[in-house]
Amino acid sequence: MNSAKPRIPRRALHGVLLLDKPIGLSSNDALQKVKWLYRAEKAGHTGTLDPLATGLLPICFGAATKFSQVSLDADKGYLATLRLGQTTVGGDREGEILAERPVNVTGEQLLHAVASFLGSIDQIPPMQSALKKDGRALYEYARAGIEVERASRRVTIHRLDIVSWQPEDMLLTLDVRCSKGTYVRTLAQDLGEVLGCGAHLAGLRRTHSGGLDLSHAVTLTQLAEEDADARDARLQRPDTLLADWPALSLPDTEAARFLTGLRRRVALPDTPAVRVYGPQGAEGPLPRFLGPDCSAAFLGSGHILAGELIADRLLSPVEVQALLVS
């Protein structure tokens, strides 16, 4: 007698879910739980959050996965809580305490130290990162107790504001806006050294990824309690990932040719990245830039160079149609 459970049929979904990842789960664990809830054929996330971290984790389904790199490359925002006076193995609260030092800092000293990290800075990636050396992730070396040499990397801190300072608990909370590839645990450690007391990362919550923010995110608990229709209603269009790019609308025949990958002549200035839409909502026979709230048929992304629109990432006709009827 065959006692195997029947396979749950998967379905083709196209869109973006803004997930509020809980503490204790890896990004991949969270992705798999969401994928199972949606019974989705294809899904991926757009930037790893450590199990220690919570907050915004965009999940891409179907056609949206073609544009996940945009979110990976985008600037990020975090609320970071630092515990001053303690350094730990790995630079976060889960590591063994290596040293404790007294914390004697004034508000003025805090402001001056924080301001010194604004702009372009160099960071040495932590051993707990997923960067690879000789084919192995750095965290694999760290788990084996091996420290390897790492080259510094240039990142940009766009904003670094003090949200709160709790001297009784030695906890400093910062609002961080930074370029991709910034290691906030390294920022915490380096700031602790500038203050002369050491520090480690006690908590991290991602609040922004490019133009996406945590205010529109949903928790796994909320998703699990909803029915399928309510979950589907939470999906945003794939072009949400490109919301801060200029939008270009093509008339019918031009849109069809663009979808085949052909270059199209346009009387528009050079633009490094555009999101491209089809005839639904277009006006007139010529390509034109749309306003920020367009409802046209999303075709994909491209760039304009020397009067030509050149495709970069295209949806298939099936995907375009699925988005129009969803």
Query: Are 92 and 180 spatial neighbours (Cβ–Cβ below 8 Å)?
Result: no
For residue 282, give the DSSP letter: -
The radius of gyration computed from the CA coordinates of the chain, to the nearest angstrom, equals: 23
Q: Which of 103-117, 134-148, 156-170, 257-271 has the lowest mean pLDDT?
A: 134-148
Q: In this predicted model, what pLDDT tens digit does every residue of 84-119 receive, in sequence order?
A: 999 998 899 988 999 999 999 999 999 999 999 999
Position 204 pLDDT exceeds 70: yes
Q: For position 3, what pLDDT does the model report? A: 56
Helix, strand and coil percent figures for the chain, each rounded to 5: 30, 35, 35
Fill in the amino acid letter for 10: R
Active site residue 227: no
Q: pLDDT-derived band of residue 10, with 50, 70 and 90 as boundaries?
A: confident
Q: For position 47, what pLDDT does the model report? A: 80
More confident residue, 57 or 286: 57
Instruction: Please state at what angle helix 184-195 crosses helix 107-115, rounded to 10 degrees.
Output: 130
Position 288 pLDDT exceeds 90: no
> What is the SS3 assignment for 3?
coil
Which one is catalytic: 20, 50, 92, 190?
50
Which pTM does this prediction carry?
Answer: 0.87
Phi first, then psi, for residue 148 (nearest 5°) are -120, 155
Query: Are 301 and 275 spatial neighbours (Cβ–Cβ below 8 Å)?
Result: yes
Tokens linked to 242: 């490109």
More confident residue, 68 or 126: 68
Q: Give the helix/strand (H/E) hosting 207.
A: strand 199-209
Q: Which of 12-26, 208-222, 243-257, 260-274 has the lowest mean pLDDT?
A: 243-257
Q: In this predicted model, what pLDDT tens digit does every residue of 294-321 receive, in sequence order?
A: 457 899 999 999 999 999 999 998 898 8
